[in-house]
Amino acid sequence: MRVLFVCLFLVGCAGSRSVVRDERGGYSARDYLQTAFDTLNEAETDTNGHRIRAAVETRAALEQLDDRARPRPVPYEGGPSLAVAFELLQRSEPELAPRSAAQQHAQRALEELRLALLPAK
């Protein structure tokens, strides 16, 4: 059990930190979720289907948002990867209403990516 917690901690610490900060006032949850969804669709595949399940949950979170504003793409460094999508989803969470359906879907997507990013044994 301790090993699992250590692995989850390391995954959290080893985030890509490649998402570029916006100096003009930030991005909305929709911006982060849409960019995460697009990134997941372009990212490398994983053998256990975590990427696909994370994409499905991210799309569901997007569908739960009330605003219909056109999302702005969030720039990031490097190519599309599961680590970038993980960071984008993490950044969307503070703007989602607590215990909302959108937040629950985003949390399930994050869990799928945590599992995908765990080191192989």
**Average pLDDT value over all residues in the chain:** 83
Q: Could you tell me which of 51, 39, 52, 44 has the C-alpha nearest to residue 87?
A: 39
> The whole model's pTM is what?
0.80
pLDDT tens, residue by residue, 70-86: 889 999 999 999 999 99
Q: For residue 66, what pLDDT is reported?
A: 78
Q: Could you tell me which of 79, 92, 90 has the C-alpha nearest to residue 39?
A: 79
Counting residues of the chain whose pLDDT is more than 70, the rounded percentage is: 78
